[in-house]
Amino acid sequence: MVFLGLFLAACTSASEGDDSFTLADIFGTESTFYKIFSLQFLGLEDGTVIGAFMRAMVGLLIFAILFEVGTRTLFAAPAQRKFAGIIAGVLAIMTAIFLPDEILAGIGSSYAIAFAAILIGLPVVGGLWVIFGSVGGKPIISHTRFGHGLRIIILVILLWILMAVKNHALTLVGM
């Protein structure tokens, strides 16, 4: 509902002179939609916007975790859920306000590294399993000319993925 409201607000604010508007009017840099989700309305600089966004996300995550734990353990009765919400909200706000920027940057980079490892590792492990694995003692790819050609194609794709990651890592460290 929130996204629909923002979308409709962007549509109405984009059509000032005539009734026609484009996607650039809705999702462009001058639209309401862009200004809200880029946090431009706060009047912050680009580096500070990332910190503010990370603080909001960490605060939301802390609230969700503490509220769920509180409603399952200490405040299990339905009438006591409001106390779990208040305590989780206060602790989440305190955490978001007093968390240093270095820790926020560490949280962001560690999640990025974890997801990158998963997104890069799954195709590599899956490809190696298809090449060398077996199901019920029978190889996944048969030992025919087509099977050997398919293995070579999969190995070339895996090599391309690993070389792209290597080149990206070398540019990050400046080599």
pTM for the model stands at 0.52
Q: What's the mean pLDDT when you consider all of the chain? A: 79
Confidence of residue 148 (pLDDT cuts 50, 70, 90): confident
Domain locations along the chain: 1-38, 45-99, 103-173
Q: Of 124, 134, 129, which is closest to residue 157 (Cα–Cα)?
A: 124
Please enumerate in sequence order all residues whose Cβ is within 8 A of that of 88, keeping only pairs 6 or more positions apart, or say none.
Answer: 62, 63, 66, 67, 70
pLDDT tens for residues 26-44? Answer: 666 666 666 666 666 666 6
pLDDT digits (tens, 9 = 90+) for 94-111: 988 888 888 888 888 888
Q: Over the stretch 123-135, which tens digit does the pLDDT of each residue have?
A: 888 888 888 887 7
Closest CA to 11 of 27, 79, 2: 27
- Compute CA 75 distance to the chain's CA centroid, rounded to the nearest angstrom: 31
